[in-house]
Amino acid sequence: MFGKSPRPRALGLGIHHTESVFTHSGPNADLALARAAEQANIPFTLSTPASNSIEEVAAGAGGDKWFQLYVSSREQSEWLVRRALEAGYTTLVLTIDVAVNGLRERDIRNNFKIPMNMSPSVIWDGITHPSWSMDYLLNGQPQLANFVTKDASDLEAQANAMSRSLDATFDWASLRQLRELWPHTLLVKGILNADDAVQCVANGADGVILSNHGGRQLSEVISPLQVLAETRQKIDKPILIDSGYRRGSDIVKSLALGADCILLGRATLYGVAANGQEGVSDVLRILQNEVDNTLAQIGCSDVRDLNPGYLHEDSIRLMQQTV
């Protein structure tokens, strides 16, 4: 996809959430995800607020590793980018769709905070989920590992050190500066407008990720799938897409519409929460089997042969409403 040998799989694995900090898989959820991705021969994206650090994942897992960056301050961002570069990451994923945190009503109702607030409801959840509680007692609460320093040894201090709100002054000139800092593949994630994708490429990006952050930022926002075909017409660069993929048939449809790679987030987190690395591998096997079955059903022997001719307009319209 980026001038490397073709991958045998149709899937890309991306982790763009802080939920890995709270999974029932001990303190090494991101390592488990990275190792499962290596085993499946697909890329793994380490998030800025990960439970394992840039260096830990680089040392503990092989394969094609990407780093996802939230720009909260220029100094902090440069520090993270240089660490990823020194650790051998091949792709930098600049995330631009968190100018402010979305109004997530469930989090408000649950009084969700980092570190976790030990409210009566949380305590009751712990009582009714004993295996999670035992894991928590044995391993402690995972850390925001990229921000563990002598001045930020506890989770609250790490959360204060990392703001997920985007630097409001970050603009196209800032993207060009980031391009100068990062010598490898650079992707911009959070694009929902084909003209913005054109501007990203003009300012140094090697490709874009169409994403609405899984619908978690603004519930009324359009699906990335709704701008995929137009974006494919306007840029001759890799287009990746995420947000809500749960079925192999939807992966096939998106590849037919012009996506080069589908990134998975929540689905693989379900796997690692349920059964660690093997749980992630199970999720990938299920999706790969569904992809293979769908290709066989429609008479396509190679994902590289997929094109819009395999799709009916009603199928596209329904998918745009659900993915």
Is 16 catalytic? The answer is no
Query: How far lies 164's CA from each of 77, 123, 129, 213, 245, in Å?
Result: 12, 27, 29, 13, 24
Separation of alpha carbons 144 and 230, rounded Å? 38
Residues 250 and 223: beta-carbon distance below 8 Å: no
Structure tokens given for 143 = 């850390």
Pairing of strands 239-241, 261-264: parallel
What is the C-alpha separation between 129 and 131, in angstroms, rounded?
A: 6
**CB atoms closer than 10 angstroms to residue 119:** 13
DSSP secondary structure letters along 136-158: HHHH-PPP-GGG-BTTB-SHHHH
Q: Which one of 16, 17, 24, 213 is the catalytic residue? A: 213
Q: Could you list the active site residues?
A: 213
